[in-house]
Structure 1
Amino acid sequence: MTRLLIVDDSALMRRLLTEIFALAGDFEVEVARNGAEALEKLSSFAPDVITLDIHMPQMDGLACLDRIMLVRPCPVVMVSALTAEGAEETLEAMALGAVDFIAKPKGAVSLEIDTISAALVDKVRAASKARISRATRLRERVRAAAGGELANPARPPRKAISPRALPPLTALSGDGLVLVGCSTGGPPALDALLGELPGDFPWPIVVAQHMPASFTGPLARRLDRMCALTVQEVDRTTPLLPGHAYIGKGDADLILSRRQSALVAMPAPSSPDHFWHPSVDRLVESALRLIAPNLLVGVLMTGMGHDGAAAMSRIKQEGGLTIAEAESTAVVWGMPGALVNRGGATSVCPLDEIPNHLMALLGQ
């Protein structure tokens, strides 16, 4: 049985969530009414995974998450509102160490809870098996154990990429594209990838990250603030430029096309032939119809499921290059693992090595 701690200040929400996981049959459930109570139960209940509301009295979800990741790191799924404020707070939670999030129903919770129950159970099951790095916020955890200040310190400046030994590579040439796919654990992985690339990176980077529509705009703006690259959400037909990264709009798909010979990215209604959206497979398939495979590099990072594995395998089979995130760093090794298991990965790299690998491929 998986030990699940449900943290929510709403008695109704605690009851509904408890019923959902009781019906799932493989969870032992305990509840907490606020962040302070949740912290007390970290030792007494020792949860395998936690669902955590953001807005609570006494100690809100972000403060509670901060303490959890310092005192007893544990997979956490945030329960978030589908609002601009909720998106910003959820992205901050992901930066603090949350594995995933689920959006609350828009209407009356008791009437709409069934619309998220299956996805919630899937996300919590996946999160319970997620890899929480021993290095996550290690310096702060040591200070906390020694009774030091628990406040979240300012983010340190990024280090410049240092040269390191890589396998012999033939630098790619021509006007190509980097195609990136990710899901569970994706926002911090995108931060780690895009944040280490220079503003003059020679190829456009197009990203399919599974997310609701209200979250992808805030994600793009957050990444744009933190990266040398220009990062934007694709919410309309958008020409692709070097030094830019493009985030597909959530609840839709992201496809490539040509307009007067210029390559563009554009949102498209989500395809019923694809389960996850924005679909990595559909993005890559659209690229393969327009661009020679030897001018494509596919990067498949952390995520639940297998989206992107089939299409990125085609990139490799037809002469392009693909990179799968290594199991050692992936929060959930579903998507990159599926690519590796299909024999579709040209290279398998820990997350912190992928930027160097891309730059070496492009002669940077």
Structure 2
Amino acid sequence: MPIKTLVVDDSVLFRKALSEALGGFTVIELLGAAANGSIALKRMAQSPADLVFLDVHMDGMDGLQTLEHLRAGFPDTVVVMVSDSSTRTEETTIRALEMGAMDFVQKPEGSDFQASIDELKQRLRGILSHVEVRLLSRGPGSGIRPASPVVAARPQVKTAVGGFAIVAVGVSTGGPEALARFIPSLPADFWLPIVMVQHMPAQFTRSLAESLSRKARLPVAEAQEGDAVLPGRILLAPGGTHLVVRREHGKLIAGLTADPPENSCRPAVDVLFRSVAAACGDSGVLAVVLTGMGSDGLAGVQALKKKKCYCITQSERSCVVYGMPRAIAEAGLSDESVDIDVMAVRVSELAYFSQAHLYP
């Protein structure tokens, strides 16, 4: 089945470039283009699209306002934001991802039209793979998420729950929305350090960390070389750089490396999880694998399970793309599958159980 696609951007030149780039993919059926959000919504009412590419900044109804209408009126439509490299756009793009946009594509900066089309094609390949998986896995009304989800009975625990020294989180496609539901719901007295990898370009992870920190009761920061990994503090891997945890003189320290990408990713969840296994595995690690395409995190969890690790994966029904959690579950390494809206509750329960275990 072709993916019915609508392009929404106020630049005539970019609409043409993106439309031509999309035309190079046989899976795409281009319904047309719209110059602003109001026109796009009218087009959607006449002929709903499976996929909308939506400019972040437009005159009149901007990208965020349009996205809000799309999420309310067309919850099964996948939205990919179109952004430039300005700081203002980065912050707005993060907000859009937190609101439910699946991904984003950056506008080429060069003036060569054909080179821009070729660059867009390269950027679109991975995104369209994610979209295909999302559309194939959705069910009727799948875009509507209940405000108060029913929590399935917890499965029989495969790993004994003991003490934990740290929480390690891996997430990819759909991550900003998942993290916006998870991190701000953690209590202010959460006592374990948290380290996270979100697959995202460099300039966007800083904006994501700042956005989460404004919403959360715990401090969230983009990690820097030598940062102390402290209880109640959350460190996010910078885009384009691997995050590792080291133990130096009895203390946990964050490190950054420019080692080659793993699973085509830098930062990679596997790199972080392996380092956490080496630094904290004997003391216990609570691993959390959230929505994302592919299997990054699987090798890392395998390394953690050779030490002391309890692993939670996000439930299929609450994932944007059930790829990374599925890889863990199918390998028999997931101890629990939990809906994203109650993830903070379950992680907090395990953390406080751990505290009681360590300090009875």
TM-score range, shorter chain: 0.7 to 0.9
Separation in 1, partners of 2:275, 2:83: 32
**TM-score normalised per structure 2:** 0.87
Residue 59 of structure 1 and its aligned partner are, at CA, apart by: 2.1
Separation in 2, partners of 1:224, 1:172: 29
**TM-score normalised per structure 1:** 0.86
1:165-244 aligned within 5 A = 171-173=161-163, 176-244=165-233
Tell me which of 271, 282, 293 is aligned to 1:282: 271
Separation in 1, partners of 2:110, 2:307: 47
Q: How many residues align?
A: 339
1:96-175 aligned within 5 A = 96-108=99-111, 110=113, 111-127=115-131, 129-130=133-134, 132-135=142-145, 171-173=161-163
For 2:53, the equivalent position in structure 1 comes to: 51
State the Cα deviation string for residues 153-194 of structure 1 (Å, max 9, x = none).
Answer: xxxxxx9xxx997568765325x1111000111012112221
Separation in 2, partners of 1:86, 1:38: 20
- Asked if the contact 2:261–2:268 (Cα under 8 Å) also holds between the matched residues in 1, the reply is no
Tell me which of 296, 304, 316 is aligned to 1:327: 316
Q: Which moved more, 1:206-215 or 1:343-352?
A: 343-352
Which residues of structure 1 form unaligned runs of 5+? 139-158
CA RMSD between the two structures: 2.4
Residue 274 of structure 1 and its aligned partner are, at CA, apart by: 4.1
Which residues of structure 2 form unaligned runs of 5+? 354-360
1:304-343 aligned within 5 A = 304-343=293-332
**Which amino acid in structure 2 is aligned with residue 23 of structure 1?**
G
For 1:27, the equivalent position in structure 2 comes to: 28
Separation in 2, partners of 1:106, 1:211: 19
For 2:338, the equivalent position in structure 1 comes to: 349
- Asked if the contact 1:208–1:247 (Cα under 8 Å) also holds between the matched residues in 2, the reply is yes
Secondary structure of residue in 1 paired with 2:327: helix
Residue 251 of structure 1 and its aligned partner are, at CA, apart by: 1.3
- Asked if the contact 1:313–1:342 (Cα under 8 Å) also holds between the matched residues in 2, the reply is no
Q: Which moved more, 1:182-191 or 1:55-64?
A: 55-64
Residue 293 of structure 1 and its aligned partner are, at CA, apart by: 5.0
- Asked if the contact 1:313–1:343 (Cα under 8 Å) also holds between the matched residues in 2, the reply is no
For 2:44, the equivalent position in structure 1 comes to: 42
Separation in 1, partners of 2:112, 2:270: 33
- Asked if the contact 1:185–1:302 (Cα under 8 Å) also holds between the matched residues in 2, the reply is yes
For 2:356, the equivalent position in structure 1 comes to: none
Large movers: runs of 4+ above 4 Å: 163-171
Residue 125 of structure 1 and its aligned partner are, at CA, apart by: 3.9
Separation in 1, partners of 2:161, 2:51: 43
Residue 254 of structure 1 and its aligned partner are, at CA, apart by: 0.8
Secondary structure of residue in 1 paired with 2:58: coil
Secondary structure of residue in 2 paired with 1:281: helix
For 2:67, the equivalent position in structure 1 comes to: 65
Secondary structure of residue in 2 paired with 1:207: strand
Separation in 1, partners of 2:105, 2:259: 19
Residue 33 of structure 1 and its aligned partner are, at CA, apart by: 1.8
Residue 66 of structure 1 and its aligned partner are, at CA, apart by: 1.5
**Which amino acid in structure 1 is aligned with residue 119 of structure 2?**
T
Separation in 2, partners of 1:223, 1:272: 26
Residue 330 of structure 1 and its aligned partner are, at CA, apart by: 0.4
**Which amino acid in structure 2 is aligned with residue 88 of structure 1?**
E
